[in-house]
Amino acid sequence: MERTPARLYAGVVGAVLVAAGIIGFFYSSSFGSPGDVDPVFGILDINGWHNLVHIATGTLGLLAYNGGPGPSRTYALFLGVVYICVAFAGFIYGDGEAILGFVPVNTEDNVFHALLGVGGLAAASARRRRVVPAPAA
């Protein structure tokens, strides 16, 4: 299957987000509003809703990866835009607040979301290099 930056992004980010969502449930599985917030590794504030969002977006990434270059590019572009918006909203709400009233964020979450967003946009806009064979001598 064709390897592209978007496909690599979809596979790696998808796997990381699914793993983060599953690991997050060991720290906090509360679905309150905003829920009992516990920091993963002492850094990222999460609750059950946050974990489900990571699992859902990660699963979409793995599906896009298996779908090939087209779905992977769409995923990278979509996730890039969404996570930049989430980071922007998180920075506006501030450290220790909740987006939509139930997804907790802190500054570290916002930076992580911004990096995922920029990476997604970069992967979606990058093109696979075509290797041109050298002429026979």
Q: In this structure, are strands 103-105 and 44-46 parallel, antiparallel, or unpaired?
A: unpaired
pLDDT tens digit string along 103-119? 777 788 889 889 999 99
The pTM of the full predicted model, rounded to 2 decimals, is: 0.82
Beta-sheet pairing, 103-105 with 97-99: antiparallel
10-residue mean pLDDT profile of the chain (137 residues): values are 89 95 84 62 75 94 94 96 92 76 78 94 83 64
Query: Is the CB of residue 51 less than 8 Å from the CB of residue 21?
Result: yes
For residue 62, give the DSSP letter.
Answer: H
